[in-house]
């Protein structure tokens, strides 16, 4: 998979501002992926990190965040999240992945979409169970071997522009509907407090 230009580890930081850990950041965990992908903020915590850590590891559009540690006997590691500007704009702080995730930076949106699509395909086919290791009870994804899997480059296929357009529309719609859902939930809570 030649879609990734850079890889970086995540971070967990500190619960409270202390010493050099003074900059707040939103930390996305694997458990947050589903809600965040569907346009919601989820319960991703605010943690405090060193300024240099945030500058080095913050997420930007076209990053793909992959959960590389965790899982369970019935759920493999390897859940992934495509990072977009719309997703990042939902937060008031820089956004990072937790130390159980790894950031895979793609130079173009097309590369990010394809990489995320391939990772999702392999995850949903339960392939990642074959690429896990670890002796401490926590499973770790052998992501370096995953990157060596030979996959077809579909970017030159005549249908790729249509796929890319549909994918982009679908992801944008999920984020838009998530925003609407958040607004409606707030409105419902206000009305319930006012009348009940």
Q: pLDDT tens digits, residue range 110-163?
A: 999 999 999 999 999 999 999 998 766 789 999 999 999 888 888 889 999 999
| Closest listed residue to residue 61, CA positions, set 39, 41, 34, 89 | 89
Instruction: Check residue 138 and give its pLDDT.
Output: 84
Instruction: Check residue 135 and give its pLDDT.
Output: 62
What does the pLDDT average to over 97-120? 95
In the chain the domains, ranked by start, together with CATH numbers, are: 6-195 (3.90.220.20)
pLDDT above 70 (res 1): no
Instruction: Check residue 2 and give its pLDDT.
Output: 81
If one compares 68 and 72, the residue with the highest pLDDT of the two is 68
Percentage of residues in the chain with pLDDT exceeding 70? Answer: 98
Q: Where are the alpha helices (DSSP H) in the chain?
A: 33-37, 51-57, 85-88, 109-124, 143-146, 160-195
Instruction: Check residue 29 and give its pLDDT.
Output: 96
Instruction: Check residue 93 and give its pLDDT.
Output: 97
What does the pLDDT average to over 103-113? 95
Asked if residue 64 lies in contact with residue 80, where contact means CB atoms within 8 angstroms, the answer is: yes
Q: Is 74 helix (H, G, I), strand (E, B) or coil?
A: coil
Which of these ranges, 32-36, 66-70, 136-140, has the smallest mean pLDDT? 136-140
**Cα 36 versus chain centre, distance:** 8
What does the pLDDT average to over 81-96? 94
Side by side, the strands of the sheet bearing 132-133 are: 69-70, 139-141, 132-133
Instruction: Check residue 136 and give its pLDDT.
Output: 65
Task: Provide the whole-model pTM.
Answer: 0.90
Instruction: Check residue 44 and give its pLDDT.
Output: 93
Instruction: Check residue 196 and give its pLDDT.
Output: 82
Instruction: Report the distance separating Cα 57 and Cα 172, nearest Å.
Output: 25
Instruction: Check residue 128 and give its pLDDT.
Output: 94
């Amino acid at each position: 998979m030649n879609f990734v230009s850079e890889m970086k580890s995540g971070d967990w930081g500190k619960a409270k501002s202390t010493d050099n850990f003074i900059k707040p950041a939103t930390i996305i965990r694997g458990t947050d992926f589903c809600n965040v992908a569907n346009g919601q903020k989820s319960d991703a915590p605010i943690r405090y990190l060193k300024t240099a850590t945030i500058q080095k590891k913050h997420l930007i559009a076209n990053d793909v965040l992959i959960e590389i540690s965790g899982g369970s006997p019935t759920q493999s590691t390897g859940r992934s999240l495509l990072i977009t500007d719309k997703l990042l704009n939902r937060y008031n702080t820089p956004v990072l992945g937790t130390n159980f995730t790894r950031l895979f930076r793609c130079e173009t949106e097309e590369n990010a979409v394809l990489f995320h699509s391939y990772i999702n395909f392999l995850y949903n086919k339960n392939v990642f169970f074959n690429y896990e290791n670890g002796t401490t009870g926590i499973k770790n994804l052998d992501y370096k071997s995953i990157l060596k899997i030979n996959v077809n480059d579909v970017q030159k296929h005549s249908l790729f522009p249509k796929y890319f357009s549909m994918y982009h529309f679908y992801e944008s719609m999920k984020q838009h509907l998530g925003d609407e859902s958040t607004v409606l939930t707030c409105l419902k809570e206000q009305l319930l407090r006012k009348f009940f």
